[in-house]
């Protein structure tokens, strides 16, 4: 039986770790051909481990020339680009706004929003040549609701949500769909607690604010990305899909305490 992404030429940024790596394995199992882009140098190792035609490409998504070269590499290898997951990003320092620095603002925004802008721009330029495609951006619940101490990061991710909606309109008549996933608290190397706990701890304070009561897993995000990348979502564009265990609903129910709004990049308190 054909896979849900059979033969689709796909780029995943941040493909060497966490959600991007989970997407790589799932997409490969569904028949996609992959370019895994990452700044870390670990992308070739992951590309060699997935069960499909896959290549690593070292790129810093905040660098326009790198993103141009990344898309050109996909065109060289596959002759086209069908799916682009703009997933690379990082949290940055979490602190009250007045303690955040201009340097941090520039660093966080150059990857988390400028990088997404470059990805959408050059992804679209390629897809326009072949008649369409699907772009899936990884943003954050902190770009949907307020998240204490996440002002700089949250502003960048909120910006990507808006880029997603506007770009979806720009290319709605060109058969290019552009959607986003807004993850909540997902157990990856980006989460500070993963440095002290080998497995997602079941009794962590952050879980009190998650109606479904558990950490999200990279696979939860990969499943959503697969849906938005595949033709199953062909009537969906400009959507910001929360994958957060219900976190962004805001309240867990009548009479229940308001869920805590806490940072995942601290010790969880
Ligand atoms: N883990 C969470 O709780 C969480 C929550 C909301 C949003 N997110 C977002 O999800 C996405 C994936 O993060 P993750 O949790 O899988 O983290 P991760 O650290 O496991 O993976 C992120 C990958 O992106 C790469 N990367 C970072 N900056 C880059 C750059 N400038 N150019 C190229 N590659 C770069 C890293 O090397 C890494 O391999 C990010 O955009 C992140 O902001 C994560």
CA distances from 22 to 133, 145, 183, 230 (A): 21, 25, 14, 16
Q: Which atom of ligand 1 is nearest to the CA of 22?
A: 16
Q: Which residues contact 164 (CB under 8 A, 6 or more apart)?
A: 137, 139, 178, 179, 180, 238, 240
Q: What is the pLDDT of residue 262?
A: 42
Q: For 120-144, how does the pLDDT look when each residue is reduced to its tens digit (9 = 90+)?
A: 999 999 999 999 999 999 999 999 9
Q: What is the pLDDT of residue 209?
A: 87
Q: Residues 251-257: what's their mean pLDDT?
A: 53
Q: How confident is the model at residue 59 (pLDDT cuts 50, 70, 90)?
A: very high
Cβ distance 131 to 124 under 8 Å?
Answer: no
Q: Which atom of ligand 1 is nearest to the CA of 42?
A: 39
From the CA of 89, how far away is ligand 1's center (Å)? 4
- Domain 9-257 classified CATH 3.90.79.10? no
Q: What is the pLDDT of residue 68?
A: 98
Q: Which of 122, 153, 171, 247 is catalytic?
A: 153
Q: How confident is the model at residue 268 (pLDDT cuts 50, 70, 90)?
A: very low
Contacts 24+ apart (CB under 8 A), 50-59: 50/24, 50/25, 51/25, 52/27, 52/28, 54/24, 54/28, 56/15, 56/16, 59/13
Please tell me if the CB atom of residue 188 comes closer than 6 angstroms to any atom of ligand 1: yes
Q: How confident is the model at residue 15 (pLDDT cuts 50, 70, 90)?
A: very high
Rounded to the nearest 5°, which phi and psi values hold at 207? -70, -20
Whether residue 260 has pLDDT greater than 60: no
Q: What is the pLDDT of residue 204?
A: 85
Q: Residues 39-64: what's their mean pLDDT?
A: 98
Q: What is the pLDDT of residue 180?
A: 99
From the CA of 90, how far away is ligand 1's center (Å)? 5
The token duo for 232 is 């199953």
**Among 47, 69, 89, which residue has the most ligand 1 atoms within 8 Å of its CB, making it the best to mutate?**
89
Q: What is the pLDDT of residue 206?
A: 83
Whether residue 42 has pLDDT greater than 50: yes
* Domain ranges across the chain: 9-257
The token duo for 38 is 């990452």
Cβ distance 8 to 82 under 8 Å?
Answer: yes
CA distances from 2 to 30, 64, 222, 225 (A): 8, 35, 19, 18
State the DSSP code for 199.
S
Whether residue 252 has pLDDT greater than 80: no
Whether residue 50 has pLDDT greater than 70: yes
Q: Residues of the chain with pLDDT > 90: what percent?
A: 84
Q: For 228-240, how does the pLDDT look when each residue is reduced to its tens digit (9 = 90+)?
A: 999 999 999 999 9
Please tell me if the CB atom of residue 143 comes closer than 6 angstroms to any atom of ligand 1: no
């Amino acid at each position: 039986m054909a896979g849900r992404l059979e033969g689709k030429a796909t780029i995943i940024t941040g493909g060497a770790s966490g959600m991007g790596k989970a997407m790589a394995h799932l997409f490969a199992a569904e028949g996609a051909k992959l370019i895994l882009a990452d700044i870390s140098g670990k992308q070739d190792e992951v590309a060699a481990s997935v069960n499909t035609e896959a290549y690593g490409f070292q790129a810093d998504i905040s660098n326009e020339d790198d993103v141009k070269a990344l898309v050109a590499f996909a065109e060289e290898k596959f002759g086209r680009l069908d799916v682009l997951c703009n997933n690379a990003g990082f949290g940055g320092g979490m602190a009250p706004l007045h303690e955040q620095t201009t340097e941090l603002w520039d660093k966080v925004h150059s990857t988390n929003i400028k990088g997404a802008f470059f990805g959408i721009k050059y992804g679209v330029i390629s897809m326009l040549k072949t008649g369409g495609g699907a772009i899936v951006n990884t943003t954050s619940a902190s770009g949907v609701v307020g998240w204490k101490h996440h002002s700089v990061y949250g502003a960048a991710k909120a910006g990507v949500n808006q880029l997603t909606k506007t770009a979806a309109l720009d290319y709605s008549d060109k058969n290019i769909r552009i959607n986003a996933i807004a993850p909540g608290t997902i157990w990856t190397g980006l989460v500070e607690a993963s440095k002290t706990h080998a497995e997602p701890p079941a009794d962590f304070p952050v879980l009190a604010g998650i109606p479904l009561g558990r950490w999200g897993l990279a696979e939860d995000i990969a499943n959503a990305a697969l849906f938005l990348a595949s033709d199953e979502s062909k009537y969906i564009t400009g959507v910001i899909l929360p994958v957060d265990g219900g976190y962004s609903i805001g309240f867990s129910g009548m009479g229940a305490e308001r869920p805590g709004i806490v940072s995942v990049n601290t010790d969880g308190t």
